[in-house]
Chain A
Amino acid sequence: MGSNRTGWLLLAPTLIILGGFGIVPFIYVLWVSFHQWNPFGANPAMIYNGADNFRRLVFDTEFLQSVWFTMQFGFFAVVSEIVIGYLLAQLLMRDFPGKSIFRTIHTLPLIVAPIVVGSVWRLMTTPSIGIIPYYLNHWFGYQMNIGSSATAAFVTTVVMDIWHWTPLVTLTLLAAIVGLPKDPFEQAQIDGANRWQIFWHITLPMIRPAILATVFIRLMDALRTVDEIWMLTGGGPGAATRYVGLHIWKIVFPKTDYGYGSAISVIVLYLTLVMCWLLYVGLVAPRVKRST
């Protein structure tokens, strides 16, 4: 009995924080999502409207489009981050002059606040003053304008995300690679495997848990990016980079449609969970089953 009380007491801070900052707001959002609520509108009262908000969502092309863009954004950003992050991690496994300086500098983006990242990239990509359009024009004769080209804007958001988050992937994968035992790789050479076969049959399966964990973390993060994108493109041109996070923001704040915004949040959370579940079922579960 006594030890039970102590146990709850020790858990209490965590439970309070988790409840206060996680569960209560979530339940609140869920509750709001079943209402029509525009606190700054003509009728500021909360009116229960059942599943109307969700019904509206299914036919909301703006929303569906933003989900589609978000998924593309998440896919390209995370895949590139994993590939580049892995290559950088392998590079950091080798010795080269200036390695420690490089390692320090390459992690700097991680400590920059997203809002600052967005501002800096905005400066760098603004036509006529930005360094990127200047050199693209200088070297390739390409006129870059993320204010008018949807593709350019999309690519820029992906590149910015890569720039910001690849170091995280590098560090995670580096830790995984450093922890690998050496002799299976020697044995693979003896067994006649070339570099590519060693990568495919030995390295990849051995760092697979680390890769999957990184994919989960990065994917969930990428699916809810708001501030960087908001600073860089504001969701434009048109709705080309209006990813769901931004879409929710636009509905909740400028339009102050709290009920509908909450409904979208709930659905986005649901979609994120489904995607992670699919990844888990497709990639993790078969492994776990085989090895027990």
Chain B
Amino acid sequence: MAEVTIKNIVKRYGELEVIHGVNVDIADGEFVVLVGPSGCGKSTLLRMIAGLEPISGGDLSIGKRIVNTMPPKDRDIAMVFQSYALYPHKTVAENMGFSLKIKGAPKAEIDAKVRQAAGVLDLTKLLDRYPRQLSGGQRQRVAMGRAIVRNPQVFLFDEPLSNLDAKLRVAMRVEIKELHQRLKTTTIYVTHDQIEAMTMADKIVVMKDGYVEQIGAPLDLYDNPANVFVAGFIGSPSMNFLRGRIRSEGGVQRFVSDHGSVLPVKPIEVEDGRPVIYGVRPEHIGLGAEGLAVKVAVVEPTGAETQLFARAGEDTIDALLRDRVGVRAGEAVNFVIDPQKAHVFDQQTTKRLS
């Protein structure tokens, strides 16, 4: 077990810089999730932590030791690759036991550990098969199994659940979480699924284009996103954004969109007429007698919730309602927004002002 410190880490491929000075502190035993859109550098960062990719600048330490140039085999980490990376010529059992065999563990111990991990991952019947005889999801579980038979300093997971079906994914999510609670091993987990990030993480690192946008606890990111990108990335369905200005009338500040919709805000210290982006989550919008008058374009009931896609003039706004509503497409309703839950971002910097 160990803490991991990522200090000003830079990655260049020749002239091309893909990671621009990332800083993350990961405490011993913490479960950290890296999220971000495709190509933002999550895998690259993880591979640098694993030692598979040379570090172009900055310091990486695992357990207080700087490991920039330490080869992967000495870092004592377990990693699950996005592409599984199974050994094609070894059976499932041999794949899972390989790291223990390399360490010279006795055969009985390897067997016991492999069997136990296989039990957890529901692979017991497949132990004698070869990777090519497995489905994508089964391969992914073997890759997981290979990591959990070990007792490493740090677990690194690169989208380990991306190929599983929805049900298995939820089951494995719980499994990984339980595993972490039991072993308390520092874990760095990459995903682009923000639900996975929200449900599993002690701490989320949101990345974009090789920069860290924000680091924080899941609910902290949800409640207080640092900028438009994080606000839009965290939460599903995604936050509504409207461009417009802040106007004061008789001491009351309001947001007026470029297309004329007027929405409430909590008091903020900005000059009148400042161009801003207004953000409100669909789940923070309710129906009421007065408020923003909108016309419903599409109604999507999912059983537990109802999502409304609506238009207020040129502006489009979604609302997510907890209960079933008898609203039909084409109907006119009023959206009520709690000003405490609405955010205001600067148009220039996209940083949050409220």
Contact = CB atoms under 8 A, between A and B. Distances in A.
B52 interface: yes
B130 interface: yes
B99 interface: yes
Contact of A202 (B52, B72, B87, B146): B87
Given A186-B81, A206-B89, A201 B52 contact: no
A60 interface: no
Interface stretch (A61-69, A192-200, A265-273): A192-200
A189 B84 CA distance: 14
A193 B102 contact: yes
Contacts of B73: 189-194
Nearest to A185: B85
Interface in A149-195: 181, 183-184, 186-194
A100 to B, nearest CB: 21
Contacts of A194: 73
B77 interface: yes
Given A197-B102, A201-B98, A189 B72 contact: yes
Contacts of B50: 186, 190
Given A191-B102, A192-B103, A194-B73, A186 B87 contact: no
Given A183-B85, A206-B88, A206-B89, A190 B79 contact: yes
Contacts of B85: 181, 183-184, 186-187
A39 interface: no
Interface size class of B (residues with CB under 8 A): 20 to 34
B146 A183 contact: no
Nearest to B89: A205
Q: Is the interface of B mostly helix, strand, loop or mixed?
A: loop
Chief secondary structure at chain A's binding surface: helix
B83 to A, nearest CB: 5
B51 A291 contact: no
A191 B89 contact: no
A201 B95 CA distance: 11
A194 B103 CA distance: 11
Name which of A189, A202, A205 has the most chain B CB atoms within 10 A of its CB: A189
Interface in B76-115: 76-79, 81, 83-90, 98-99, 102-103
Contact of A183 (B51, B83, B90): B83
B119 interface: no
Contacts of A206: 88-89
B51 A191 contact: no
A134 to B, nearest CB: 46
Contacts of B86: 184, 187
A52 to B, nearest CB: 51
A197 B72 CA distance: 14
Given A184-B85, A184-B87, A201-B98, A191 B52 contact: no
Interface of A: 181, 183-184, 186-194, 197, 201-202, 205-206, 208, 291
24 contacts: A181-B88, A183-B81, A183-B85, A184-B88, A186-B50, A186-B81, A187-B86, A187-B87, A188-B87, A188-B98, A189-B71, A190-B52, A190-B72, A190-B73, A190-B77, A191-B146, A192-B73, A192-B103, A194-B73, A197-B102, A205-B89, A205-B90, A206-B88, A206-B89
The 6 nearest A-B residue pairs measured at CB? A183-B85, A191-B99, A189-B72, A187-B85, A205-B89, A192-B73
